[in-house]
Structure 1
């Protein structure tokens, strides 16, 4: 059975990101997948790397549990808004604190190469932005997508697919329901 983990990268469960994460959760659960969800706003942890990676901070229980969930998942769905061209600070802190050397990757001794310790897993990024997706892609070069997809997940060994929803601020209720329906279909297929 495919194990799926969903991470709501928005600090609020009631945000559109939270609603989409819940929609994916409900449909993948109905489809028979083993599924868990993390709402980052519910976790108690310090998102700041006080010493960078020179000294690894002791992980809080919530982050130890999150690492166990990441390890056991075959597929991880990250749902996040784009804020100022990046992801919310809480989400960035979660990545900084959980995707650690020795957990997500390991540099080879005496080399610039690294081992991808989370290889074999897949991920889906569901990215929401107030601006049009074409604007983020062609004008800003998709910095949030690049950071998550290339610099974090692919660096750690994931195969990554991206779903982007733009112009969120101008969408009416019917248009929002269409987005929810699209995410439900992803949840049903576990993709």
Structure 2
């Protein structure tokens, strides 16, 4: 049975993102996946990486549980809004703290990075008030690129598919329901093609050097 971790990265439980995450989870379950829905707003942790990567910052219990969920997942979904061309602070803080060097990635002796969460697939779902041509053409699709390429792929997850929802501002109830149905369909589709659990790369923590940026 495939295992899917759905990360709801919106601070508001009444948001469209929260509803999209729920509907994706429902679709994946209907296709036989074992699904965990993780709402970051419910976690208790320090958003700030207080000393960068120069010193260890012990993980809070909620982040340790989140790491365990990432390890056990075949497929990871992140649902978040685009704010100022980036992501909400709660998601950025979660990624900074949870995707530890030596656990989610490391640097080889030749200086090249190695993702340590390899074998898992992912999807990024981003809501936006801006039209697609504006985000992709003029803004460079910065939030999607940040999550897809600079974070998830960097940590070894692939393929990482992207779904853009919007413009949300001014959308009708019918349009929002259509987006919810789209996410349910994606949940079912992704559950059927998620990697087999026995093909996952074991996550092994490796020692990190003392100094970093």
Same fold at TM > 0.5: yes
Higher relative contact order (CA 8 A, sep 6+): 2
> Are the aligned partners of 1:4 and 1:190 in contact in 2 as well (CA < 8 Å)?
no
* RMSD of equivalent CA atoms: 1.0
Equivalent residue number for residue 23 of structure 2: 23
> Are the aligned partners of 1:33 and 1:190 in contact in 2 as well (CA < 8 Å)?
no
Deviation at 1:118, TM superposition (A): 0.6
Q: Which position in structure 2 is the counterpart of 1:163? A: 163
Q: What's the CA shift for 1:188?
A: 1.6
Aligned length: 190
**2:41 aligned partner:** 41
Structure 1 stretches of 4+ moved >3 Å:
none
Counterpart position of 1:14: 14
Deviations 1:57-108 (A, max 9, x none): 1000000000000011010010000001100001000000011101110112
- Partners of 1:31 and 1:14 in 2: CA distance: 26
Shift, 1:27, TM fit: 1.8
> Which consecutive unaligned segments of at least 5 residues does structure 1 have?
none
Deviations 1:10-50 (A, max 9, x none): 11221100000011112212222111010011000011000
Could you tell me how far apart the structure 1 residues matched to 2:84 and 2:92 are?
Answer: 13
For structure 2, the 5+ residue unaligned runs are: 192-213
**TM-score, structure 1 as length reference:** 0.97
Matches within 5 A, 1:147-186: 147-159=146-158, 160-186=160-186
